[in-house]
Amino acid sequence: MSLTFTPETEKILQDIWSRYPEGRKRSAVIPMLMYAQDQLGVVTSELVAEVAKRCEVSPLQVEEVVGYYSMLNKKRMGKHHVQVCTNIACLLMGGEALWHHATKRLGIGHKEVTADGLISLEEVECAGACSWAPCVVDGYEYHHHVTIEKLDQLIDSIQKVH
């Protein structure tokens, strides 16, 4: 099965490719995977092969990268990937309670997806929002000073739209 990207993604991938010197295109592997995953929702073996071809490396060299980085997923995550930080600064401000609440309300655990594929959860390491803790990140969108009520509102709003 051949892989097609939207024109927007294709433009980004070509731009990424152009940033690195001749003979150093392997550098584009991680950024290409990240932006392609945004469109596809998951890293497939077709994507691995495509990135390997474009960056002039073997598929295995791409696979070993996919296996290392926590944001590259071979399992499809939810349409909304909700990440709850429980690292020290968030822990001090109630991050753990948020995590437990989210897992209980949605009935899923770490890196699991709701049956309808709408929401996935991940307990993440420090997201860089320590002074505005606790924080929850929905996709790439940061939410600060999150309370149980605010988290419920976020989940409600995701469920209402879809």
Partner 1 sequence: MFNEPHPDEVRIISKRFGLPNSASIDTYLAHEGYVALMKAIEMSPEQIIDELKLSNLRGRGGAGFPTGLKWSFIPRDNPKPKYVVVNADESEPGTCKDRLLIQNDPHQLIEGCIIAARTIGCKKGYIYIRGEYRYLIDIMDKALAEAYAHGYLGKNIKGSGLDFDLYTHTGAGAYECGEESALLESLEGKRGVPRIRPPFPAVSGLYASPTVLNNVETFCTVPAVLRMGGQAYADIGTPKNGGTRMLCVSGHVNRPGVYEVPLGFPMQKMIYETCGGILNGKKLKGVIPGGSSSPVLKADECDFPMDYDNYARMKTMAGSGGMMVMDEDTDIVKVALRTMRFYAHESCGWCIPCREGTSWLRKILTRMDEGTGRRADIDLIHELAKNMLGRTFCPLGDAAAMPTIGFIEKFREEFEARLRETTMLATTPDQLISIN
- Ranges within 23-42 binding partner 1 (CB under 8 A): 24, 26-31, 33-35
Of 80, 127, 122, nearest in space to 103 by CA: 122
Interaction of residue 19 with partner 1, rule CB under 8 A: yes
CA–CA separation, 108 vs 96, rounded Å?
15
Nearer to partner 1 by C-beta: 86 or 151? 86
Cβ atoms of 65 and 55 within 8 Å: the answer is no
Contact letters (x/-) for partner 1, 85-124, by CB under 8 A? -xxxx-xxx------------------------------x
Q: Which helix (H) or strand (E) holds 32?
A: helix 29-40
Structure tokens at 64: 């070993």
Interaction of residue 72 with partner 1, rule CB under 8 A: yes
Cβ atoms of 26 and 56 within 8 Å: the answer is yes
Candidates 100-108, 112-120, 126-134, 152-160: pick the segment binding partner 1 (CB under 8 A): 126-134
Helix, strand, or coil (residue 112): strand
Which listed residue (48, 119, 133, 136) binds partner 1 by CB under 8 A?
A: 133
Nearer to partner 1 by C-beta: 144 or 162? 144
Helices (H), 75-147: 88-92, 95-106
Binding site for partner 1 (CB under 8 A): 19, 21, 24, 26-31, 33-35, 55, 57, 61, 64-65, 68-72, 86-89, 91-93, 124-133, 137, 140-142, 144
